[in-house]
Amino acid sequence: MKRRYSPPCAPLYVAAAAAALLPQSPSSLAQTDPVLEEVVVTGTRAPGRSAEVLPVPVDVLSADDLANTGQTEVGRMLQAIAPSFNFSTSAISDGTDALRPATLRGLGPDQTLVLINGKRRHQASLIHVNTSVGRGTAGVDMNAIPAAAIKRIEVLRDGAAAQYGSDAIAGVINIVLRDADEGGRAYASYGEYQEGDGETGNVDLNGGLPLGDSGYLNLTLNYRDRDWTDRAGVQGNCVYGGCADTDGNGIDEPGDPRELDFNRNSFRIGDAESEQYAFVANAGYSLGQGELYGFVTYSERDNESAAFYRDPVSGADAFLADGDNVVPDGFLPLISSQIEDYSLDLGYRINFDSGLGLDISYTTGENTIEYETRNSINYSFVNELRFGQGLSDAEIRDTIARSADAYDLELGMDTLNVGLFQELGDLALAFGAEYRSEDYKIKAGEPYSYADFDTSDGMSLYPQDAGGGIQGFPGISPVSAVDEERDVYSFYLDGEYQLTTNLLVSAAVRYDDYDDFGDSTNFKLAGNLALTDDFRLRGAINTGFRAPSMQQQFFNNISTQFVSNPDDPDGPQIPVQIGTFRNDSALAKAIGIPQLKEEESNNYSAGIVWNPGDSLSITLDYYFIEIEDRIVISNQLVGDDDPTGNLGDALDAVGAGAAQFFLNGADTETEGVDLVMTWVGLGVMGGDLDLTLAGNVTQTDVTDIFTTGGLAGVDPEVVFSSQQISIIEEWQPEDRVNLSGTYTRGGFLANLSVNRFGEYTVEDGGRQTYGAVYVTDLKLGYTLGNGIGFTVGGNNIFDEYPDRNKIGNSRGGTLERTPGGERLVSSPGVFDYSRRSAPFGFNGAYWYAGLSYDF
């Protein structure tokens, strides 16, 4: 197998080149690529740098590390082995159920830059507008790239906007694709949760082919099918109406005999159903003095999640005095999303005889999401058929649609990049230019998904005045359609200078010009000092920025969101029509919402690298990140919140009960410590043992909230509620610790990992702190001499769950079959576990088995 130039690699989660250069174990059950001749890691443009000599921390996660987690999603793999990375779970949060937010160092999903083979990755078209981690942000779909195509993942844990541009405030995640030109692996696995649901089948096929005598083509196919999970509690409320406390004991009795037979396991709260097909091709070919290279990624994922159950007593049917109703027992609206994601990169790099290096590339990519609402109805259309056309309930059932296309989202990005590199003795210089074009579209859904058939010119046509739009996940009308684009021009210069034998210093400056909000110039200065052969100090100071995303600038919609009742904060949530209005909308202009500008940051880091022996490495890094003018989504504002009175009139005009906007409205400070300790190649019982202890402690504080423009006279605590602040400060674990060990002997492999997820607090009507939990994963495998391998394992093998939920519940209550008689149901609500934030989910133990063949 040929060796070729490539970005950096390492076989274990390490921050030291000593570990990076150790050979792979031949008995590893994850396919590995050959040891490379050069080590070049994210965060430097100088070839030959190893992780230990860099001024900033870079973790390198190999294919083995990812495979040994036993997970099938890249996001979950990263969370299992990188303590500073979080991949939070929420439920009944619309698109967020299918595309989870990924965060680094407790910051937002959009404050981490993601690269593929060193090239900027486009974001997902979804923006998280519901109440979850990452509310008001848009990140990258981490699961669009199948793990089988990944050679390693490099995680730069430091601000890098001066090197790579917008978004790199928390750091950079660089996914490096496989480039082997021969051999490959076929792998199939199946697993399910201990509760008997969430069955997951996964099939991978990866192989390398030579292109002539001087090229390679590496291909990956992946199929993953995951069934939904459900950890919902039972409904305890009166679903048909007419319940009353007839004997004065404080407990209701059913007023409708159907109450006795109603299926109270009506909600679906857990992981969405998901089926994904993915393809990746990575290629390179020597041409002249240089290399022609490129990659293609494509994935298509069909998801289905649930919304709030619609009780029979709700909606248009609630007003019928008799008859069997259109949907007599209520219904559970389902949200179907088809996510399609592709990217294409083509480039050429060459080293001239003069020592000058040139790299020119073009990258294009797009993420689209098509939403369909199923198993639902448009209440106002029921009224149109009933009162407008005089149809009976039976005729309505035969006529009315139960699904509709809600809307489509589309985000595309094209990037042209030219970079030059020159080494002048101990000085390495890199400079270049970039042009980037971004476009964002919202395509309207079918009229049935958004229309109100019960009103005309703002007046109700029928006595029930039922709500318009399909229930659960209403569509977007043509008036809210979007087709916007912007251009970005960038220029950068960075250099590294070996000032002395023991001291490496680096500096970078970058200028970015956005045609929609303005320009930004950022700087970075860093150094690495070797005090002894095995002890180094490193540190960095940098400024950074994050441009307002296309979604933050242009997303707008009116949807039904369930919120806490201000008159009864501890009671059931109530539905409210919430409008999200873009900042250049007529409503926003009428009340003086200012144009979004970039977030600005200052990042300070300092750390040590200690290698006291050939097999032991220890790194400890402190960081402090200040962010000004952070872009957040406002609280749901009503007319009375606006002293000008314009908001109330505007809301009435668009039929919304409340409005929310994207604003530069908060300053934050994030402080934390990362620790990584690795022992590799330890001889134990005739085999080899590798150990890793990694931990992260981080805390983010909102130091200021403010309003500007037409909202300057509004109390910031009205615009930004305590819950919005809590999401930023408290909804992710305060600390994470991972202790893992991998033991190999002959063809046998055992991997044991213990993850500690620290405390986190959620505000949702009330406040609840969820205690720390230890999650244990185990994987066992054996590889035969003929290339066939077997694996069995479990994630969360001790079946740990988060603390039971005590706040923000819904549909709870107690009913008796007869006055003073047997209990029919008694339930605190359907949310047994917090639906807002669950760092490791709430599904319990998962068991799996797999079969592989190396060729």
Q: Which pLDDT belongs to residue 105?
A: 96
Q: Say how far residue 730 (Cα) sits from the centre of its chain.
A: 17
CB contact burial 554-571 (16+ within 10 A = b; e otherwise): bbbbbbbbbbbeeeeeee
Q: What single-letter DSSP state applies at residue 771?
A: P
Intervals of the chain under pLDDT 70: 1-41, 43, 45-50, 319-324, 458, 559-577, 655
Task: Read off the amino acid at residue 263.
Answer: N
Q: How far, in Å, CA of 173 to CA of 61, rounded?
A: 11
Q: Phi, psi (5° rounding) for residue 717?
A: -70, -15
Q: How far, in Å, CA of 414 to CA of 398, rounded?
A: 48
Q: Which pLDDT belongs to residue 20?
A: 30
Contact partners, residue 799, CB within 8 Å, separation at least 6:
194, 844, 845
- Tokens representing 463 are 């006595």
Q: How far, in Å, CA of 344 to CA of 363, rounded?
A: 6
Helix, coil or strand: residue 144: helix
Q: How far, in Å, CA of 814 to CA of 825, rounded?
A: 6
Task: Read off the amino acid at residue 645.
Answer: G
Q: Which pLDDT belongs to residue 649?
A: 79
Q: Phi, psi (5° rounding) for residue 696?
A: -140, 135
Q: Which pLDDT belongs to residue 51?
A: 74
In 685-747, at which residue ranges do the beta strands (DSSP E only) sit? 687-705, 735-745
With CA atoms as reference, report the closest residue to 547 among 107, 163, 161: 161
With CA atoms as reference, report the closest residue to 671 among 605, 598, 618, 608: 605
Helix, coil or strand: residue 818: coil
Q: pLDDT, tens digit, for every residue of 168-204? A: 999 999 999 999 999 999 999 999 999 999 999 999 9
17-232+267-756+768-802+838-854: what CATH class? mainly beta
Q: Say how far residue 116 (Cα) sits from the centre of its chain.
A: 17
Contact call for residues 543 and 522 (beta carbons, < 8 A): yes
Q: pLDDT, tens digit, for every residue of 465-488? A: 888 899 999 999 998 999 999 999
Q: How far, in Å, CA of 297 to CA of 281, rounded?
A: 7
Contact call for residues 581 and 588 (beta carbons, < 8 A): yes
Determine the length of the chain.
Answer: 855
- Tokens representing 172 are 């950079």
Helix, coil or strand: residue 521: strand
Q: Which pLDDT belongs to residue 54?
A: 85
